[in-house]
Amino acid sequence: MAREQSRPSPHNGANLGFEQKLWQAADKLRNNMDAAEYKHVVLGLIFLKYISDAFEERHSHLQRETQNPESDLYVKEPEARYGIVEDPDEYRAESVFWVPQEARWPHLLASAKQPTIGRLVDDAMVAIERDNPTLKGVLPKTYARPDLDKQRLGELVDLISTISLGDKENRSKDILGRVYEYFLGQFASAEGKKGGQFYTPRCVVQLLVEMLAPYRGRVYDPCCGSGGMFVQSERFVEEHGGRIGAISVYGQESNPTTWRLAKMNLAIRGIENNLGAEPADSFHNDLHKDLKADYILANPPFNMSDWGSERLQGDVRWRFGLTPSSNANFAWVQHFIHHLAPNGTAGFVLANSSMSVGGAEGGIRTGIIDADLVDCMVALPGHLFYSMYSQVCLWFIARNKALPSHRDRRGETLFIDARNLGVMAERTHRELASDDIGRIADAYHAWRGDAGGSHQDVPGFCKSATITEIRRKGYALTPGRYVGSEYGKDDVDPSNVMLDDLAVSLTQLVSEARERYANTLENLRLLGFQPSRDSGSAARSGPGFSDESQVALNHQISATLGQVLHAVFQSWFVNFDPVRAKMESTDIGFPPAIGRLFPDALGDSELGDIPWGWEVGTYADILVPSTSRIGGAEAPEYSATTTGLQLRDLRFNKQLARAQAKNKRIVKGDLVFGLSRRTLNFGLMTDPVGSVSPVYEVFAVNTDRYVPELLEFYIRHHMDMHMDILRPGAREGQPIDRRYLLSKNVLIPDMRVQRLFGQLQAGFPMEP
């Protein structure tokens, strides 16, 4: 369905000619200050300049009118004239903030070179909040702090003085709003992943707004960040001929500094809002408990752990089940559903793992699907957010799919695969162009039957699926599983082709491994060793055979096995780059024919594109903490090293003085994590039973989800992604951050693939 009005460019910022230069100049002035701190310094001054400009324009107008005999405001006496010009109500009546004498920009500019400029700016912020109750507690007041270079602050005041922001002409062009938005985007980019917590890229917000089309009613965002959803909603109404103020804004934000950003962001545009009197956590202090919103637009924090689920058991919002404490994604989804009006719709951003994760979260997703609430799913391209790691999708929830204004679509869900859309605006940042946004939004509106539109499935892009089809696919909501290939090869399951090819590859590798293993054993025999048929380890053969030699032999055999496993793992599990969002199929070991014939043989995930049948979960899905003690039993003591577990008495010259009865018990298949000289050490227990120091973290692996040997290889080959589980400032003997590890994402291959991988282990040890 064609849209009647053209869409504005979604690029993050304005094409004003000076915004980039302004940013570059301001950025040079921050010296060594962190972007997260500097953000509030700059944006606070920009806000102050805006309201001062608007005030000065109104002030000049009143001065002219009170001196003009033909004006209704004309007064002869200077004192009376002054009283009108300095009357706060004359400004508030025109939606202009009242700015007291000490807060006006000319006053600050005159003192920009003085060492007291920081205190003067703070005083100005205090005075504005005092005389404008709606801004109480909103403005930053930290300009006088000693670590803020006052010379650079003065230069920043001079720089911002060069742009006009608040006069009528520039307000009509939304100059400030666009500069403000540009700066928000630049700060998000400078802050990397943390920046995404307060700023959703403009093109993503615009896509949500274009699809939901919030013409009128109550708009709610319980994790509103800097308020971009509200700004775009108001802009949408205005650009489509609606009345500004036709929507009522309700929001909430838990981060105090981000809440202030939102209040300022809305204030500069004159958007009335109810964000609460203070920042607050939507889960534990819902400021809008009775709100039933017509539209919900949100970008909740991705994969938030430790969100306090244990304190909210039995909460009315958890209609489909209590979300585990390790990940709040489906707590947000249920919060949105709870706050939707009977005819309301919601559009929100979630991590890709939400579309296919299993366990308790998968059960909640199943309930939501069975309740026929999922209206549309959109898979987005990577690199949209200011974090290289974030790949996301859009969920659209509809409480009533049979509204008279739309087509009756009960029992149906639209899937849109937009992963190939967008353009790279920078090396690590992608943006959706206006045409991309239009294509996605038009497909959704046509499917809903808006204005008589009709839908057609487009292979490789969009498909309308029934709940029955979704159930057949295990309640997964990944669009790529439904839209098929644009080359029309939907009748072939790429996961089966991949699996067959992998089986052939593994068979060949097992054969090569047997030959390599035989050669290794022959070389060891020449050294006087002979393998044991029952255990696979070496047995004594000749005088002078020591325990140390037996361990050395076992290590050699393990190294041989490791070489083979490494070859397989490198080919099928590592060569895809979890930091990149897109790659060719050959990057993960597919033969070229697979990549040509089945371009959709890869699925999408937070860690990048992955083979079909695989998923991204968390370590809580596959690891169970173990605290079992040895007690009075005797068991060999092991130590975790950078190369794996080793017997302690063979690695160290002396035992540590402690009671071994306090040691943790480890058994075959357990993963052990430790710390030595600020280095992460870990290993897989391959012997039947042993013990480790109580300071180690021990986890049993859920073998229904993961082959332990494969998991050990996965962690070892992604060590750089796991170093952050070390506690800050940790010393030798201190444990890792167990809770954080369990909340981290992990790639979970299809169990059929894992079992094939296990054939390699089954081939060892063996007689040649």
With H, G, I as helix, E, B as strand and everything else as coil, classify residue 112: coil
Per-residue confidence band for 410, with pLDDT thresholds at 50, 70 and 90: very high
Highest mean pLDDT among 525-529, 627-631, 634-638: 634-638
**Is the predicted pLDDT of residue 692 greater than 90, yes or no?**
no
Same structural domain, 68 and 175: yes
Query: Looking at per-residue confidence, does 561 or 46 come out higher?
Result: 46
Alpha-carbon distance 51 to 59, whole Å? Answer: 12
pLDDT at residue number 670: 93
Could you tell me the pTM of the whole model? 0.58
pLDDT at residue number 128: 93
Please calculate the CA angle 583-432-4 and round it to the nearest 5 degrees: 145
Per-residue confidence band for 5, with pLDDT thresholds at 50, 70 and 90: very low
Is the distance from CB of 764 to CB of 517 less than 8 angstroms? yes
Q: What is the pLDDT averaged over residues 436-448?
A: 95
How many folded domains does the chain comprise?
A: 4
Q: What is the pLDDT averaged over residues 12-32?
A: 58
Of 63-67, 270-274, 359-363, the least confident: 270-274
* Residue 723 within a domain: yes
pLDDT at residue number 36: 63
**From the CB of residue 146, how many other CB atoms can be counted at a distance below 10 Å?**
7
* Residue 667 within a domain: yes
Residue with tokens 């301001």: 26
* Residue 9 within a domain: no
Same structural domain, 177 and 50: yes
Same structural domain, 551 and 681: no
Of 239-243, 383-387, 485-489, the least confident: 485-489
Alpha-carbon distance 581 to 607, whole Å? Answer: 7
Look up the domain containing 500 and give its range.
494-611
Same structural domain, 236 and 267: yes
**Is the predicted pLDDT of residue 574 greater than 60, yes or no?**
no
**Is the predicted pLDDT of residue 498 greater than 80, yes or no?**
no
- Tell me the DSSP string of 141-168: --TT-TTS-HHHHHHHHHHHTTS--SSH
Alpha-carbon distance 570 to 518, whole Å? Answer: 23
Boundary (domain end) residue, out of 463, 483, 503:
483
* Residue 203 within a domain: yes
**Is the predicted pLDDT of residue 437 greater than 90, yes or no?**
yes
Query: Looking at per-residue confidence, does 562 or 79 come out higher?
Result: 79
pLDDT at residue number 610: 55
Residue with tokens 């938030």: 304
Both structure tokens of 411: 């029992």
Is the distance from CB of 484 to CB of 738 less than 8 angstroms? no
Same structural domain, 260 and 387: yes
* Residue 715 within a domain: yes
pLDDT at residue number 477: 92
**Is the predicted pLDDT of residue 32 greater than 70, yes or no?**
no
* Residue 734 within a domain: yes
Same structural domain, 319 and 203: yes
CATH number where 29 lies: 1.20.1260.30
Highest mean pLDDT among 74-78, 550-554, 646-650: 74-78
Highest mean pLDDT among 256-265, 287-296, 494-503, 624-633: 287-296
pLDDT at residue number 11: 38
Which helix (DSSP H) or strand (DSSP E) does residue 697 occupy? strand 697-701
pLDDT at residue number 720: 66
Q: Quick: pLDDT tens for 317-336.
A: 999 999 988 889 999 999 99
pLDDT at residue number 485: 62
Same structural domain, 246 and 107: no
Phi and psi at 430, nearest 5°, equal -105, 150
Query: Looking at per-residue confidence, does 373 or 355 come out higher?
Result: 373
pLDDT at residue number 539: 38
99, 226, 570 from 717: Cα distances, Å? 59, 38, 9
* Residue 186 within a domain: no
**Which of 56, 51, 59 minimizes the C-alpha distance to 125?**
51
Same structural domain, 407 and 442: yes
Boundary (domain end) residue, out of 181, 207, 234:
181
pLDDT at residue number 767: 34
Same structural domain, 479 and 504: no
Boundary (domain end) residue, out of 587, 611, 635:
611
Q: What is the pLDDT averaged over residues 475-501?
A: 61
**Is the predicted pLDDT of residue 469 greater than 90, yes or no?**
yes
Helices (H), 612-724: 648-651, 708-717
* Residue 654 within a domain: yes
Both structure tokens of 135: 């801004």
pLDDT at residue number 736: 77
3-state secondary structure 510-560: HHHHHHHHHHHHHHHHHCCCEECCCCCCEECCCCCCCHHHHHHHHHHHHHH
**Is the predicted pLDDT of residue 450 greater than 80, yes or no?**
yes
Per-residue confidence band for 640, with pLDDT thresholds at 50, 70 and 90: confident
CA of residue 482 relative to chain centroid, distance? 24
Give percent of the chain above pLDDT 90. Answer: 26
Is the distance from CB of 111 to CB of 120 less than 8 angstroms? yes
Same structural domain, 662 and 686: yes
Same structural domain, 312 and 254: yes
Q: Indicate the average pLDDT of the chain.
A: 75
Both structure tokens of 270: 């004159």
Give percent of the chain above pLDDT 70. Answer: 65
Q: What is the pLDDT averaged over residues 478-495?
A: 61
Highest mean pLDDT among 40-44, 237-241, 442-446: 442-446
Q: Quick: pLDDT tens for 332-349.
A: 999 999 999 999 999 999
Burial class (CB in 10 A: 0-12, 13-18, 19+), 589: buried
pLDDT at residue number 31: 67
Q: What is the pLDDT averaged over residues 430-442?
A: 92
pLDDT at residue number 143: 92
pLDDT at residue number 247: 83
Q: What is the pLDDT averaged over residues 58-81?
A: 88
CATH number where 691 lies: 3.90.220
pLDDT at residue number 325: 86
Count of residues for the chain?
768
Per-residue confidence band for 527, with pLDDT thresholds at 50, 70 and 90: low
Which helix (DSSP H) or strand (DSSP E) does residue 465 occupy? strand 462-466
Same structural domain, 110 and 142: yes
Alpha-carbon distance 198 to 187, whole Å? Answer: 10
pLDDT at residue number 402: 93
> Cβ neighbours of residue 109 under 8 Å, at least 6 residues apart?
157, 158, 161
Per-residue confidence band for 491, with pLDDT thresholds at 50, 70 and 90: very low
**Which of 263, 262, 233 minimizes the C-alpha distance to 246?**
233
